[in-house]
Copies of this chain bind each other. A is one copy, B any other.
Amino acid sequence: MNDTLEAEPAVYFTEENSEEAVIARMRSDCDPRLRTVMSAAIRHLHAFVKEIEPTDAEWGATIEFLTRTGQISTDWRQEYILLSDILGVSMLVDAINNRKPSGATETTVLGPFHVADVPRLELGANLCLDGKGEPIFIEGRITSANGTPIAGALIDVWQCNDEGFYDVQQADVQPPMNLRGMFETDEDGNFWFRSVKPRYYPIPTDGPVGKLLQAMGRHPYRPAHVHFIVSAPGYRSVTTHLFVPDCPYLGSDAVFGVKESLIAQINMTEPSARSLAAGLDSAHWHLKYDFVLVPQE
């Protein structure tokens, strides 16, 4: 029993006052940020329910969907992140947290396939350990917004293979750390390495989120891309992708990760001095992209 509760005037819940009745129940001394977040959650959730007026059966199906989305998640599968991804919320949270001056390299979602402690490789090394796929030479420069090259910047790269699978998805087929590596820019801010052209691939479709996607008439594909995390002391890290321009899913990424500035130019070229030195002695794909970092706040 709590004396302060007895003293509260009773405001009973009605369809009309529903948001206010629920929000008013929070104690004034609870964490201010939680109070702000939960007040907003309650207002938007009630507005949604009032707009769609679900039947009991529809609300029951919603409860069931939310429950199964939690239950199918494991240490290595996160179906709620997938739900956040396909509803554009992951990209929205990314956008909100990475507003930057014009000219800085734009961000996109991390995705579930990043691995920590990848091998540090020499510039020019080949990420592809099994020789499968069409060779591509990737190079560029890391600079600050005014064009100053950033020496010693780190470039963490990972991608799927020519069939659309990451090494961690095919531990029995691909060598460990296939198509992953960490490079450091030279004194002029340059980086260069060998890899293979990645393929588009589907997000998991065997769970509740895949079924929802199908019911909405949407395909599950992510357009072909290479992941990057670029970091340097004193600068804000950039987590992003570069997209292959000739992919049919570029305009309809299942997780909304594509930004126009992240669509790379890829050409078939003759070997350059650098790509030849890296072992590419005939025509190959070539991707050049410069990353622009902004100072840490």
Contacts and interface: CB of A to CB of B under 8 A. Distances in A.
A280 to B, nearest CB: 29
A206 interface: no
A63 B47 contact: no
Contact of A248 (B2, B49, B79): B2
Given A21-B256, A40-B51, A218-B27, A251 B8 contact: yes
A225 to B, nearest CB: 14
Identical chains in the assembly = 2
**Interface size range of chain A in the complex:** 35 or more
B88 A50 contact: no
Contacts of A96: 15, 49-50, 53-54
A37 B44 CA distance: 14
A170 interface: no
A99 B27 CA distance: 31
Interface in A193-209: none
Contacts of A217: 26-30
Given A13-B256, A259-B12, A26 B216 contact: yes
Nearest to A19: B88
Task: Choose among A25, A36, A212 the residue with the greatest number of B CB atoms under 10 Å from its CB.
Answer: A25
Given A71-B71, A96-B53, A251 B9 contact: yes
12 contacts: A6-B248, A10-B258, A14-B95, A14-B259, A15-B99, A18-B92, A26-B216, A27-B218, A46-B89, A59-B89, A63-B84, A69-B70
Interface of A: 1-2, 5-6, 8-15, 18-19, 21-22, 25-31, 34-38, 40-42, 44-56, 58-59, 63, 66-71, 73, 78-81, 84, 87-97, 99, 212, 215-219, 248-252, 256-260
